[in-house]
């Protein structure tokens, strides 16, 4: 928000009804990200994984579901099965490629849902204040009073395995922290002079929220939500690893790690491979989230 309050002589005054400051801020962030080699490297790796997952039927060398008792646990480096096979003789490379579909989806969906729901709750609580704030934030506090992994495991454990239940439990875990971020920014906004001024000119509440609160809350929420993606991927795979997420025989990295765990003494390399995929994606999302945060840091 570096827009000068008084337009200097010779500069163009900003057009009425538009918010050029906001737009150029995001354009700057994008430009800084493009010049950050680490973020771009991570983006490339992630794009490769995502594209491979989307076009899995064309990319994968074998059928990820076809089992064979004769080809069980072939070690990586085989001429036909590059990354070896799993405990049921299924091609590991193909399963890792297909696995990206569910693993990435399970990482993204809860963060997306939690960002929307938590952001909405936070903005309402922060902007309206008073009793509504009390009600929303105290309920949020209760859910915040559980260790996040424990809450996810408890809800998934009670509801049972399945994609929908996993997404539901992870969303519930991520709503409280997002709502807290949104609430604290929205509360600050409520008492800003420009919001006061907008109110004085007779702007309706929905208009103030849309024009002033939401644009200011977006940055902190996005920055926070981006750091949640890697947590969500690790946690979703972790639930599958416990047997509480995806159900067999679907290829998913956490579930693959779970079933291959039995073979850890026989074929240790095969057994740890799915974890490498979880690690790489989570690492890339974390580094990109860091890049985004420093790109949004106006002080630099």
Partner 1 sequence: MLVYVLRRILYTVPIAMGVSLVCFALIHLAPGDPLSAIIPEGASPETVAQVRAAYGFDQPLPVQYLKWLQHVVMGDFGNSIMTQRPVMHEVLPALANTLVLAAAAVLFGFALGCLFGVVSGYLAGKPTDKAVTAVSITGVSIPHYWLGMVLMVIFAVELNLLPATGMGEGGSGTFGLGWDSLQYLILPALTLSVIPAGIIARSVRGTIAEVRKQDFMQTLHAKGLPGRRIFVHVVKNALPAVLAVMGLQLAQLLGGSILVETVFSWPGTGFLLNNAIFTRDLPVLQGTILVLAMFFVLINLTVDVVQTAVDPRIKRA
Is 77 a residue that touches partner 1 (CB under 8 A)? no
Radius of gyration from C-alpha coordinates of the chain: 24
User: Which is closer to partner 1, CB of 139 or CB of 214?
Assistant: 139
In this chain, which of 125, 228, 287, 296 binds partner 1, going by CB under 8 A? 287
- The span from the CA of 207 to the CA of 204, in Å, is 5
Q: What is the Cα 212 distance to its own chain's centre? A: 25
Q: What are phi and psi of 65, to 5 degrees?
A: -105, -15
User: Which is closer to partner 1, CB of 136 or CB of 278?
Assistant: 278
Minimum distance from residue 196 beta carbon to partner 1 (Å): 27
User: Which is closer to partner 1, CB of 129 or CB of 243?
Assistant: 243
Stretch that binds partner 1, among 10-18, 74-82, 133-141, 201-209 (CB under 8 A): 133-141
Minimum distance from residue 149 beta carbon to partner 1 (Å): 4
Is 283 a residue that touches partner 1 (CB under 8 A)? yes
Minimum distance from residue 258 beta carbon to partner 1 (Å): 9
**DSSP string of 26-79, one letter each residue:** HHHHHHHHHT-HHHHHHHHHHHHHHHHHHTHHHH-SS-TT---GGGTTPPTT-S
Is 241 a residue that touches partner 1 (CB under 8 A)? yes
Place of tokens 């008073």: 130
Q: What is the Cα 61 distance to its own chain's centre? A: 29
**Residue 83, CA distances (Å) to 171, 199, 241, 267, 268 in order:** 34, 63, 21, 12, 13
- The span from the CA of 67 to the CA of 83, in Å, is 15
Is 272 a residue that touches partner 1 (CB under 8 A)? yes
Is 135 a residue that touches partner 1 (CB under 8 A)? no
Residues from 147 through 186 that contact partner 1 (CB under 8 A): 147-151, 153-155, 157-160
Is 20 a residue that touches partner 1 (CB under 8 A)? no
SS3 (DSSP) at 91:
strand
Minimum distance from residue 281 beta carbon to partner 1 (Å): 9
User: Which is closer to partner 1, CB of 166 or CB of 208?
Assistant: 166
Stretch that binds partner 1, among 81-89, 91-99, 210-218, 268-276 (CB under 8 A): 268-276
Is 238 a residue that touches partner 1 (CB under 8 A)? yes
- The span from the CA of 116 to the CA of 249, in Å, is 32
**Residue 247, CA distances (Å) to 63, 100, 242 in order:** 18, 15, 11
Q: Which residues bind partner 1 (CB under 8 A)?
A: 138-139, 141-143, 145-151, 153-155, 157-160, 230, 234, 237-238, 241-244, 257, 261, 264-265, 268, 271-272, 274-276, 278-279, 282-283, 285-287, 290
């Amino acid at each position: 928000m570096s827009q000068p309050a008084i337009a200097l002589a010779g500069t163009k005054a900003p057009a009425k009804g538009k918010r050029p400051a906001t737009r150029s801020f995001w354009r700057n962030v994008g430009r800084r990200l493009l010049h950050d080699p680490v973020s771009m490297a991570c983006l490339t790796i992630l794009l490769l994984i995502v594209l491979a997952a989307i076009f899995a039927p064309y990319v994968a060398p074998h059928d990820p579901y076809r089992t064979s008792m004769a080809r069980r646990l072939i070690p990586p480096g085989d001429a036909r099965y590059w990354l070896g096979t799993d405990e049921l003789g299924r091609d590991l490379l193909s399963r890792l490629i297909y696995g990206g579909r569910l693993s990435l989806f399970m990482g993204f969906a809860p963060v997306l849902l939690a960002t929307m729901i938590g952001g909405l709750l936070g903005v309402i609580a922060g902007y309206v204040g008073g009793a509504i704030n009390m009600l929303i934030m105290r309920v949020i506090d209760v859910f915040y009073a559980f260790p996040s992994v424990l809450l996810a495991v408890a809800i998934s454990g009670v509801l049972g395995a399945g994609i929908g239940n996993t997404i539901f439990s992870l969303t519930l875990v991520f709503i409280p922290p997002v709502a807290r971020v949104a609430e604290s920014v929205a509360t600050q906004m409520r008492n800003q002079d420009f919001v006061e001024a907008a109110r004085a000119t007779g702007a309706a509440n929905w208009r103030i929220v849309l024009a002033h609160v939401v644009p200011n809350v977006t940055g902190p929420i996005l920055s926070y939500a981006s750091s949640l993606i890697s947590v969500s991927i690790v946690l979703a795979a972790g639930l599958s690893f416990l047997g509480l997420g995806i159900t067999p025989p679907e290829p998913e990295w956490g579930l693959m790690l779970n079933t291959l765990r039995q073979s850890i003494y026989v074929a240790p390399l095969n057994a740890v491979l799915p974890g490498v995929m979880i690690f790489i994606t989570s690492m890339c999302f974390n580094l990109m989230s860091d890049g985004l945060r420093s790109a949004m840091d106006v002080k630099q």
